Structure 1
């Protein structure tokens, strides 16, 4: 039976917002999980660290686009480790909620492990017509398997 270590949540927007998405990844979630120095073994067994992550983001899309969501162990995409990527082609003239789940079974032993979530988009002929409309939330649970 697993042992609970920590749970954190990051609510970037709980109501309607209007933030244009760009081709540059933009942070929408940031949490630090107290992982008590337990390391992951890649299997989630034998007392290793298991980190479950989830998030949701509301989008309005005017023209066909591709949305990319990255979950990173660390503070930035450049310096962290990308542990999850979702690439979603989305049709035009819709508003949608995108939700995702990810796991990190290879986290290093640390007292605190930072996780961040980023969104970016690409559009037709390089024009991105994606608006982040909310809600935006990111959360995680750390346990020892």
Structure 2
């Protein structure tokens, strides 16, 4: 068991409207957080969990990808990516909903004393049938070291 350093939560409430935000092939930011890693010993590690709720009035027939990056902008490093494949066909005209949760870790990242992580969601091509981000959306991370 390691020494706890810091934990943060990024809760996105912008998807609380009834129509949601369209999910496209362009990654969309849904969570940003920073962790204080000052005083970390060897074997620094960050554990994270991200959740996105996706809805559609038709079948959600495209893979949905969640990506976690360390840092921001063009120098950000992809540390985790998971794609959930389409679910079985749902009833046309009924609300089809997916809650996608991923859990991962960034083992031995560089330690500048403060690490920033960002979570993104997008579709992976296919025929998008109006999937939208309707929530919940949350991103949690904790930092530990030996």
Q: TM-score range by the shorter chain?
A: 0.7 to 0.9
Q: Do structure 1's residue 58 and structure 2's residue 53 form an aligned pair? A: yes
From 108, 111, 121, give the equivalent of 1:109: 111
What is the count of residue pairs matched by the alignment?
Answer: 136
Deviations 1:82-132 (A, max 9, x none): 11110111134420110111101131021100000000003534x452110
Question: For residues 47-66 of structure 1, what are the alpha-carbon distances to aligned partners after superposition, in whole Å with 9 as ceiling and x for unaligned?
Answer: 32011111111011434101
TM-score, with length taken from structure 1: 0.84
Structure-1 separation of matches of 2:105 and 2:39: 18
What is the alpha-carbon distance in structure 2 between the residues aligned to residue 131 and residue 89 of structure 1?
A: 16
Paired with 1:108 and 1:88, the residues of 2 have a C-alpha distance of 29
Structure 2 counterpart SS, 1:90: coil
Point out where structure 2 has 5 or more consecutive residues left out of the alignment. Answer: 91-95
Distance apart, 1:16 and its partner CA = 3.1
TM-score scaled by structure 2?
0.83
Verify the 8 A CA contact 1:37 1:109 in the aligned structure 2. Answer: no
Q: Which runs of 5+ in 1 are unaligned?
A: 40-46
Aligned-residue CA RMSD (Å): 2.0
Q: Which has the higher strand share?
A: 1
